[in-house]
Structure 1
Amino acid sequence: MANSSFQYVRNFETSDSLAPSNWIVIRLDGRGFSKLTTKYSFTKPNDVRGLALLNAAALHIVKAFPDVVIAYGQSDEYSFILHEGTSLFDRRASKLATTFAATFTAEYCMLWSEYFLDQPLTRPWPSFDGRCVAYPKRRILRDYLAWRQADCHVNNLYNTTFWNLVQRGGMTQTDAEDSLKGSLSSDKNEILFSRFGINYNNEPEICRKGTVLYRAYDSALTTASINGDATSSDVMSKTQMEKERKRKLKAEVKVEHVDLIGDAFWDARPDILAPGRGDSGDE
């Protein structure tokens, strides 16, 4: 950028780089999606086309940004987790949030016609906002993902019960809402089973558990091979960084609907949250 007498205005810009050695979560949320689902007559309580579209957009994001180690989505939201050692966009919160939100929005809109064949997209276009949160420990990061998955379960159980009361039980939406006030999960499960013959545990996992995206590599990798040679310099060379970037880009991205709250998923895939060089291993 050429120097000029006006360049002083850059001094008003504030730094928003997230602290180093913190896992970064970029969470995107659909804006005004209640109106959007009504406008395009989404199936209630879950529209498989809408969920597939959301996951397709997320898949493109994960493939485009190798620094994403895992992503989780449900309803109209997606969380993308960047490794604690990432230097993407110098860890600037505003740059990360706006880039991911804009790219996800573009992918969602461009892919729309592949999933809603008979419903052309019109203004106002779907859009997503984004925020960044830094988490200092893997344990806290796992709790974050558990929180989002628990939210998926609670909301889906409510919506499944609510819409069955309306669509099959003949209730108005107001009456259905009133009947569920103060109800427990066990109450909703009982309503579904006794009145509609639905065992909630048999509902599609994509609806009950959400969707997980992560990279699967061809061979078992040690922490050292994932994050670089731990016996060498603490700073990866440009050649090493480029080699690592290409390795991530070539890796297959798995799309699954699995439990993230327990230990089984994480124990089977320790490479996802493997510590970086110089990391103490503190949970």
Structure 2
Amino acid sequence: MANSKFEYVKNFEQPDNLLLNTWIVVRIDGRGFTKFSSKYGFEKPNDRRALDLMNAAAQAVMYEIPEVTIAYGISDEYSFVFHKSCTLFERRSSKLVTTIVSTFSSYYIHLWSTYFPDTPLSPPLPSFDGRAVCYPSVQNLRDYMSWRQVDCHINNLYNTTFWALIQKGGMGNLEAEELLKGTYAADKNEILFSKFDINYNNEPEIYKKGSVLFRGYELVDPATHNAAAEADSLAEPVQQSKNQTENDKKRRAKARIVIEHLDIIKDEFWDRRPWLLSNKPGKVPKET
């Protein structure tokens, strides 16, 4: 690039590198989605079309950016996890966040008509904001993911009860809020069952647990590895040969990114999928 007298403005740029040897989570949220969901008549308490659209956009992001190891989504938010050894964009926060946000937003708009064929988009168009946070250990990362799934359950139980009181019980918003003030999970379950014959346990898993996306390799016996300990002991990215790097890339490309609605708080989810913590591709299942 040619030098000029105006080049001094580069000195105003500040470094935004994320900490080395940490897990990076880029979390995005819909901007103004309360008004947006009202404008397009999203069903309450959950609109399956809207959730499937979020999942499809997140799946597209993972295909476009193979460095994302796992993603988790609820409502109008999604968390994308990068392994601690990832060096994408030299771990620059602005690059990672803007890439995830722009890619997700583009696919959300592109796929809209697939899930809402009778409701064309009009300005203001949907958009998302994002932030990047570093987590130093596997336990920190898992606690973050657990926090989001617990939030999913708490919010969904409240919303399911709130909207049942309004839609089935004929209450107004303020009346339903007042009734639920100070209630516990058991109270909400009792209201749903006794008043509306709704067993919350039978609600769709996507509403209760959210959606988790990952590459669908063959499940592994937990006794054959300790991926968490190995990940925590990693002080710097493992140096691989060019051939090994290319082979890993090909294996990731062959893997199908699955969308599941599973418990990610218990050990079993992580123990049977060591590739989520090791960053080493697993074995692609044989096609049946």
TM-score (normalised: structure 1): 0.91
Give, in whole Å, the separation in 2 of the partners of 1:219 and 1:150. Answer: 25
Structure 1 letter corresponding to 2:175: D
Contact kept, 8 Å, 1:28 with 1:79, in 2: the verdict is yes
Aligned partners of 1:218 and 1:251 also within 8 Å = no
Letter in 2 for 1:135: Y
Match of 1:270? Answer: 274
- Give the match for residue 215 of structure 1: 215
1:251 aligns with 2:255: yes
Gaps of at least 5 residues in structure 1 are 277-283
Over 3 Å counting, the alpha-carbon distance change for 1:130 and 1:160 in structure 2 is same
Work out the CA distance in 2 between the residues paired with 1:17 and 1:139.
Answer: 23
Deviation string for 1:146-169 (max 9, x for gaps)?
000000000000000000000000
SS of the residue aligned with 2:20?
A: coil
User: Which residue identity does 2:249 align to in structure 1?
Assistant: R
Separation in 1, partners of 2:194, 2:277: 43
In the alignment, does 2:73 pair up with 1:73?
Answer: yes
The Cα shift of 1:74 comes to 0.5
Stretch deviating more after TM superposition (246-255 or 210-219): 210-219
Cα contact 2:219–2:273 (8 A) shared by 1: no
- Give the residue type in structure 2 aligned to 1:48: R
- AA paired with 2:84? E
- Seen in structure 2, the aligned counterparts of structure 1 residues 237 and 5 have a Cα distance that, compared at 3 Å, is farther
In the TM superposition, residue 123 of structure 1 has moved relative to its aligned partner by: 0.6
CA contact (8 A) 2:57 2:111 kept: yes
- C-alpha distance after superposition, 1:29-69 (max 9, x if no partner): 00011001110111100000000000000000011111111
Compared CA separation, residues 52 and 182, structure 1 to 2 (3 A): same
RMSD of aligned C-alpha atoms?
Answer: 2.1
Tell me how far apart the structure 2 counterparts of residues 54 and 136 of structure 1 sit (CA, whole Å). Answer: 28
SS in 1 for 2:174: helix
Letter in 1 for 2:244: Q
Structure 1 SS opposite 2:194: helix
**Percent identity of the aligned residues?**
56
- Displacement of 1:189 after TM fit? 0.4
CA shift in 2, pair 1:4/1:57, >3 Å:
same
Q: How many residues in Structure 1 have an aligned counterpart in Structure 2? A: 270
| 1:261 equivalent among 262, 265, 280 | 265
Matching residue's letter, 2:148: R
1:121-270 matched pairs, under 5 angstroms: 121-217=121-217, 234-270=238-274
TM-score by length of 2: 0.89
The AA in structure 1 aligned to 2:265 is I
